[in-house]
């Protein structure tokens, strides 16, 4: 039988609160990649949707708060699934990857306005020094595809990206 949405097994894996949030987020990236390779980009979009990713992160934050409360009241160690402070950066890194993959997916689907909106929203949450080069390149790509050459050049100048020189 053909499955029209993510398999029940994949949905069960995404809802596991005992798995660290960074691994659950990476799972959504891999699921989206697999769906893209199967020419199921609409389903891949669901795996990368901000609402879906936010639900994973929020469930982990709620779980972490509960675990901290339990640990402080009982003096016991935290429950598996809590993201240690050392992995907080990893969660942000994975969130960046998911967002950038989502933007790339919308670019592939030629929905440049949505791609640009998602990217702009994501960039607004980052400090200037934290903007990944991939985000800049996606923004330049979108501007070029929309015919905004001057805006693309301005972005490159603003981010001070050194483009490789071609030698012949």
Q: How far is CA 47 from the centre of its chain?
A: 10
pLDDT digits (tens, 9 = 90+) for 128-145: 677 888 898 999 999 999
Q: Is 106 left (phi over 0), alpha (psi -120 to 50) or beta?
A: alpha
| Band of residue 114 on the pLDDT scale cut at 50, 70, 90 | very high
Per-residue pLDDT, 148: 94
pLDDT per residue as tens digits for the range 79-106:
444 545 555 556 777 778 888 988 999 9
* The pLDDT value given to residue 15: 67
pLDDT of residue 37: 86
| Residue 157 structure tokens | 């100048």
Residues 50, 95 contacting (CB under 8 angstroms): no
Kindly indicate the confidence band of residue 152, based on its pLDDT and cuts at 50, 70 and 90: very high
């Amino acid at each position: 039988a053909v499955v029209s949405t993510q398999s029940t097994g994949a949905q069960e894996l995404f809802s596991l609160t005992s798995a660290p949030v960074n691994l659950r987020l990476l799972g959504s990236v891999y699921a989206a990649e697999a769906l893209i390779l199967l020419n199921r980009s609409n389903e891949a979009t669901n795996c990368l949707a901000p609402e879906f990713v936010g639900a994973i992160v929020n469930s982990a934050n709620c779980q972490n708060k509960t675990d901290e409360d339990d640990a402080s009241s009982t003096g016991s160690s935290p429950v598996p699934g809590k993201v240690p402070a050392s992995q907080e950066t990893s969660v942000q890194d994975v969130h960046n990857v998911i967002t950038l993959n989502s933007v790339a997916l919308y670019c592939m689907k030629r929905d440049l306005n949505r791609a640009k909106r998602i990217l702009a929203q994501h960039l607004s949450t980052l400090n200037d020094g934290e903007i990944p080069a991939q985000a800049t390149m996606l923004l330049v790509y979108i501007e070029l595809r929309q015919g905004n050459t001057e805006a693309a050049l301005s972005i490159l100048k603003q981010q001070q990206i050194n483009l490789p020189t071609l030698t012949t």
